[in-house]
Amino acid sequence: MWDRLITDCNVATMAGSAENPLGIITNAAIGIDGGKIVRVAKRTELAGFRAREVVALDGAWVTPGLIDCHTHLVFGGNRADEHAMRRAGSSYEEIAAAGGGIISSVSQTRAASEAQLLASAKRRLEALAKSGVTCIEVKSGYGLDTETELKMLRVAKSLDGHAGVKVVPTLLALHALPPDMDRKAYVDMVIRETIPMVANEGLAASVDAYCEGIAFTPAEVEAVFTAAQHHGLPVRLHAEQLSNQKGAALAARYKALSADHLEHLDNDGARAMGEAGTVAVLLPAAFYCLRDEQVPPIDLLRKHKVAMAVATDCNPGTSPTLSLTLAMNMATTLFRLSPEEAIMGTTLHAARALGLAHERGTLAPGKMADLCVWNIEQLSELGYWIGLPSPDRRMVAGRDQ
Ligand code: NIG
Ligand code: FE
């Protein structure tokens, strides 16, 4: 006897095949037991199975719970003033050079207590959960000293499970150069102090860095990646956002889980990612907010069979959004992803970007019963509505949230 049998639905399992990439099963039923999926099949095939509770969905669509695999959800204050400055003509780089940008969030985050950071991040997480998110990656990176980076990661840890959302924390110490330290001293401190402490306390699942003219050089990133791997932590990289630093190829050399942004990616970088199995995380809301005109080379990613994920990049500077379905719409409208690619990008491929494909991102036996129920007629509506829809039900480990 199973815990739950969900019937009368159309399921996009994401455990697909060449002919049916989204693994769509119409007139389906889903068996759930012990918080996990036990069977997904045509309703008629599950007719003989019993469950303590039967939930009929009246023809709704079911997808895996959405996964937001790139966010900076924890931060103090906000940067609405910079939004206004950019509208008046200042660039992101100019604002950063004048001490604004990431450094402004660093001051506000250092000044905030752990309780304040947790309270504001909880509100944002609740909003993202409303758009269907059941798993989220959360980066540090507004501390830029060991104490505050650890404070942010502790907040991310406390967030885990809030609104039913699984939180996957990432150390992003190489996000910007701290105003009060020289480059070499900072990178050395991250290698000798921050990474070992984070690894010992189990505070992060991976290490990220920002490889960019206004941030860190490929050589600095490599030194930090080497230290991360020494401590058993996989890596990921903000790469090729504003210029081509060959960060994607670097990330691939370190078997990075993902390389993110990628507006200025070239053919060699895409090929290296394809060969290494590094996922491309596309962040169209940051592209939109920066009024960027350089679209990531989606055709190159397709050509080299790089898995594409889509995320909000929720952050106070370049992507103040709390809707993953809006990011899906932007990925289709601005980057010309197909609706199918956008849906895979927030389920299966987002799970891969987090190294969690063994437990999430598809609806298949043995996977977590984290799912969204959408009262839509067509699955492609998920990338079609601008900022809508929200799922009508969200289940985590088979339970309604
Ligand atoms: O992913 N690119 C660097 N990091 C963030 C921006 C963070 C900020 O401006 O606060 C991003 O876009
Ligand atoms: Fe980011």
Which of 27-36, 90-99, 240-249, 276-285 is predicted least confidently? Answer: 90-99
- Which of 336, 353, 370 lies at the terminal end of a domain, its last residue? 353
Total number of domains in the chain? 2
> In whole angstroms, what is the distance from residue 398 CA to residue 202 CA?
28
- The pLDDT of residue 295 is 98
The verdict on 393 and 323 lying in the same domain is: no
267, HSE (Cβ side, Cα atoms, 13 Å): 1
pLDDT tens-digit series, residues 60-71: 999 999 999 999
Residue 307 predicted with pLDDT over 80: yes
CA of 127 to the centre of ligand 1 (A): 20
Residues 264 and 126 in one domain: yes
- Whether residue 297 sits in one domain with residue 149: yes
> Can you give the CATH number for the domain in which 14 is found?
2.30.40.10
| 202 and 268 housed in the same domain | yes
Task: State the residue range of the domain holding 8.
Answer: 2-64+362-400
For ligand 1, say whether the CB of 241 is within 6 Å of any of its atoms: yes
Nearest listed ligand to the Cα of residue 75: 1
Q: Are residues 58 and 85 in the same domain?
A: no
68, 70, 72, 78: which to mutate for ligand 1, most atoms within 8 A of CB?
72
Residue 99: the pLDDT is: 82
**E strands, 118-232, in order:** 133-139, 166-174, 206-209
249 and 148 belong to one structural domain = yes
Which pLDDT belongs to residue 92? 86
Give the tens place of pLDDT for each residue, 336-385. 999 999 999 999 999 999 999 999 999 999 999 999 999 999 999 998 99
How confident is the model at residue 374, as a pLDDT?
97
Average pLDDT value for the chain:
96
Residues 176 and 104 in one domain: yes
Residue 16 CA, ligand 1 centroid: distance in Å: 34
How far are the Cα atoms of 177, 196, 262 from residue 283, in angstroms, in the given order? Answer: 23, 30, 9
Q: Is any ligand 1 atom within 6 A of the Cβ of residue 210?
A: yes
Contact 346, 133 (CB under 8 A): no
- Ligand 1 neighbour 316 (Cβ under 6 A): yes
pLDDT band at 8 (very low <50, low <70, confident <90, very high): very high
161 shares its domain with 203: yes
Average pLDDT of 89-101? 87
Q: What is the CATH number of the domain that holds 253?
A: 3.20.20.140
Ligand 1 mean position, distance from CA 314 (Å): 9
Task: Give the pLDDT confidence score for residue 224 in this predicted structure.
Answer: 98
In this structure, the answer to whether residues 238 and 369 fall within a common structural domain is no
DSSP string, 294-347: ----HHHHHHTT--EEE----BTTTB----HHHHHHHHHHHH---HHHHHHHTT
Looking at the predicted structure, is the pLDDT value of residue 388 above 80? no
Task: Tell me, using a 6 A CB cutoff, whether residue 146 lines ligand 1.
Answer: no
Q: Which of 241, 312, 315 to mutate to test the pocket of ligand 1 (most atoms within 8 A of CB)?
A: 315
Going 82 to 238 to 71 to 190, the CA torsion angle's sign is negative
The Å distance, Cα 358 to ligand 1 centre, comes to 29
pTM (2 d.p.): 0.97
| Cα 286 to ligand 1 centroid, rounded to whole Å | 8
* SS3 assignment, position 224: helix
Residues 70 and 31 in one domain: no
Best mutation site among 175, 240, 264, 312 for ligand 1, i.e. most ligand atoms within 8 A of its Cβ? 175
204 and 148, same domain (yes or no): yes
Calculate what percentage of the chain has a pLDDT beyond 90.
Answer: 92
| CB of residue 139 inside a 6 A radius of ligand 1 | no
Same domain membership, residue 58 and residue 70:
no
313 lines ligand 1 (CB under 6 A): yes
- What the block records as the tokens of 258 is 């993902």
